[in-house]
């Protein structure tokens, strides 16, 4: 597989992480069904002015994310092959780190730039 295709699959994973995070936020974190992450998220909104530690947040969600990643690979590997699902998984992981990093930055300081301003205004996390 060419380097360009590998980068394409990794980029697709990176973008998908943001879409999945937004979907989780909308339908699970603010949904009606009971879920442990929903309770934690509501507590986060109550303490929104407190800073967020990126690495502890990643550690807290590592098991859940790992199981999701495993499920995605079990489903997609037979369909797409490992040459595509591995870069996709790497992109998803990098996307999760990026989402958490920007989320933590929103709690630490005022936005700089249009993207951060938009994130700050809508507080998509």
Q: Which residues, other chains included, contact 31 with Cβ-Cβ below 8 Å and sequence gap of 6+? A: 38
Report residue 48 as tokens.
């929104």
47-66 residue pLDDT tens = 666 777 778 878 887 888 88
Do residues 10 and 90 touch, judged by C-beta distance below 8 A? yes
Residue for token digits 């603010």? 30
pLDDT for the residue numbered 21: 84
Q: Which residues, other chains included, contact 76 with Cβ-Cβ below 8 Å and sequence gap of 6+? A: 84, 85, 88
| Maximum distance among all Cα pairs of the chain, rounded to whole angstroms | 48
pLDDT at 93 over 70: yes
Q: Check residues 14 and 1 and name the one with the higher pLDDT.
A: 14
> Could you tell me what percent of the chain has a pLDDT over 90?
32
Q: Is the pTM of this model over 0.85?
A: no
Q: Check residues 83 and 56 and name the one with the higher pLDDT.
A: 83
Rounded average pLDDT over 92-117: 80
- How far apart CA 96 and CA 85 sit, in angstroms, is 16
Residue for token digits 């990093």? 101
Domain boundaries, the chain: 3-42+51-122
CA quadruple 23, 29, 31, 33: dihedral sign:
positive
């Amino acid at each position: 597989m060419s380097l360009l295709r590998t980068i394409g699959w990794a980029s697709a994973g990176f973008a998908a992480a943001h879409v999945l995070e937004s979907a989780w936020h909308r339908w699970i974190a603010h949904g009606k069904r009971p879920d442990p992450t929903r309770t934690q998220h509501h507590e986060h909104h109550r303490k929104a002015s407190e800073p967020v530690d990126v690495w502890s947040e990643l550690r807290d969600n590592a098991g859940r994310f790992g199981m999701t990643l495993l499920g995605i690979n079990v489903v997609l590997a037979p369909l797409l092959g490992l040459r595509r699902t591995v870069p996709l998984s790497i992109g998803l992981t990098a996307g999760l780190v990026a989402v958490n990093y920007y989320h933590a930055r929103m709690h630490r300081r005022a936005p700089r730039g249009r993207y951060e301003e938009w994130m700050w205004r809508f507080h998509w996390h």
